[in-house]
Amino acid sequence: MIVDVHYHMLCSWDCLSETFWDFVGNLMARLFERLGKKMTVEEVKREVFSTYIDPEGEKLMRYLDQTGIDRVVICALDYGIGFGEGKIGIEEQNRQVAAIARKNSDRVIAFAGVDPRRKDAPQILERCFRDYGMRGLKYHPDAGFYPNGPESYAALEQAVKYGAVLLSHTGPLPPPSRSKFVQPIHLDDLGVDFPTLKVIAAHCGEYWWRDWAALAHYRPNLFGDLAEWQFTAAWDYERFCHELREAMTIAGPGKIVLGTDTPFFEPIVPVTKFLEILKALPQNAAPGTRFTQEEVDGILGLNAKAILGL
């Protein structure tokens, strides 16, 4: 079983502001440059991002078929307060994402995207969970809030009430994101104050993965996904093996799950390539590292199956 817990459902360009698209476009342009391809931010937006828009989920289903992924978590994005509002309101965006999941409920799970600083965030989330059938919440604290702040706690009470899972970005990002808000340490309080809330740290903290792993060791409800680790896996395989092995050893069994951040980085390192690398770990680990088949099966899907109650 293969489960991807981190897919961004982009139903419309107008769900997000131009500031957001410029932000991600700049990030992608830097990655393309590493591949030897020069692209301006405007070229990335026009030639790459425009192909990601998927109002009915048809591209999503092709993605699952082409990669062999059995289940996927699709997330709505709320950067409105931090980066400027899109033309489509956040509740409508969540309704659109939820509708795609309901239409494909045997393969797709929807997570709401709601900035907890919105004055009616708890009410929006209750509708997302109760009425739209969404099963989790995606946070982007780099938009300017702490996941352990008072506004967040009011929102997370709804998540606990409905048994939802929190997927929260961790790891530094370029401006206008504010990286101080996405350090893994800010998830520490959640493990104490919301002991039944399952929290997935997106990217396992990325460059702060040791901080995440140390916390995960002592927080039974804290997990992490491998979104954006595909770059290291493809470009520096030995380092990938050593860092993954150390993270798994520190955090403990069952803590790491597959995430991809699709569709954003598919042109950089295709998900099929990342899956090939992960599947081959038991036979092809870098010198000085070892991965069992059980561990790899856990990363690919069984750990997420347990977290999500599939």
Domain CATH for 99: 3.20.20.140
Of 162, 170, 232, 167, which Cα lies nearest the Cα of 196?
162
pTM of the model: 0.97
What pLDDT does 278 receive?
99
* CB-CB contact of 68 with 275 (8 Å): yes
What pLDDT does 97 receive?
99
**How far, in Å, CA of 19 to CA of 1, rounded?**
37
Q: Which domain holds residue 47?
A: 3-308
What pLDDT does 198 receive?
99
Vertex 58: Cα angle to 17 and 72 (nearest 5): 80
* CB-CB contact of 247 with 208 (8 Å): no
What pLDDT does 165 receive?
99
**How far, in Å, CA of 147 to CA of 251, rounded?**
21
pLDDT along the chain (310 residues), means of 10: 98 97 96 94 95 97 98 98 97 98 98 98 98 99 98 98 99 96 98 98 98 98 98 98 99 98 97 99 98 99 98
* CB-CB contact of 103 with 57 (8 Å): yes
**How far, in Å, CA of 111 to CA of 165, rounded?**
8
Place of tokens 């970005």: 169
pLDDT in tens, 187-211: 999 999 999 999 999 999 999 999 9
Task: Give the chain's domain count.
Answer: 1
Residue 118, CA distances (Å) to 79, 80, 127, 146, 253 in order: 11, 9, 14, 14, 36
What pLDDT does 189 receive?
98
DSSP secondary structure string for all residues of the chain: --EEEEEE----GGGB-HHHHHHHHHHHHHHHHHTT----HHHHHHHTGGGG--TTSHHHHHHHHHHT--EEEEE----HHHH-B-SS-HHHHHHHHHHHHHHTTTTEEEEEE--TTSTTHHHHHHHHHHTS---EEEE-GGGT--TTSHHHHHHHHHHHHTTPEEEEE-S---TTS-GGGG-GGGGHHHHHH-TT--EEEEGGGGGGHHHHHHHHHH-TTEEEE-TTHHHHHHH-HHHHHHHHHHHHHHH-TT-EE----BTTTTTTS-HHHHHHHHHTHHHHPPTT----HHHHHIIIIIHHHHHHT-
What pLDDT does 85 receive?
97
* CB-CB contact of 216 with 222 (8 Å): yes
